[in-house]
Structure 1
Amino acid sequence: MNEVVKVFINPTCGPCINLKEWLDEKDIPYIQRDVVNNQEAATEFKEIDGQFTPTTLITSGDEKYKVIGFNPQKIERILSLNEETDN
């Protein structure tokens, strides 16, 4: 997997907890960015026009995808599309 998965979360957000659990269950590596307790993460969140948590950014080469909310189907679709182009 060549993608970088970055998840912007609020630690008390139910969907954020669900997303992290799902990513862990699927063995999908990710970078967690806490927008409540980390000012640098909060600034980065604003720079990507983030408004809702969780927001997931998936970067694959020059392609960037943004998934808002807990949407495992969309994340799987993006990751599988990129696997197909890698072959």
Structure 2
Amino acid sequence: MNKQVIVYSAQGCNECNMVKQMLTQEGIPFEVRDVLTNPEYQKEVEKLGFMGIPVTVAAGQVVKGFNPAELQKLIEIVKE
């Protein structure tokens, strides 16, 4: 299973920074895809069914916004 973690984000997005900080504290490597610098990334977010960011994707799981409980579940899956 692909356990790569992707965070769709943008400069100046506080919730995005909180997601990235939480992942960093848990020692989870992640790729940041800035939707403002690459329109393809915005399309990927829309394909997932969302308009806004942050959106965190890993191992078939998708978490919208800064949702610590949901992010923790995603982190546990990635750590397995």
Range into which the TM-score falls when normalised by the shorter chain: 0.7 to 0.9
TM-score (norm 2): 0.80
1:36-56 C-alpha deviation (Å, 9 max, x unpaired): 111221222222222221111
Higher strand share: 1
Give the equivalent residue in structure 2 for 1:11.
11
> Which runs of no fewer than 5 residues in structure 2 stay unpaired?
none
Q: How does 1:1-87 map to 2 (within 5 A)?
A: 3-59=3-59, 64-81=60-77, 83=80
State the identity %: 29
Contact 1:3 1:79 (C-alpha < 8 Å) held by counterparts: no
Unaligned runs of 5+ in 1: none
Counterpart Cα distance in 2 of 1:80 and 1:10: 25
Q: Deviations over 1:46-85 (max 9, x none)?
A: 22222221111112xxxx11111112321222332562xx
Q: State the superposition RMSD in angstroms.
A: 1.8
Q: TM-score, normalised by structure 1?
A: 0.75
In 1, the alpha carbon distance for the partners of 2:28 and 2:75 equals 10
* Aligned-partner SS, 1:4: coil
* Structure of larger gyration radius: 1
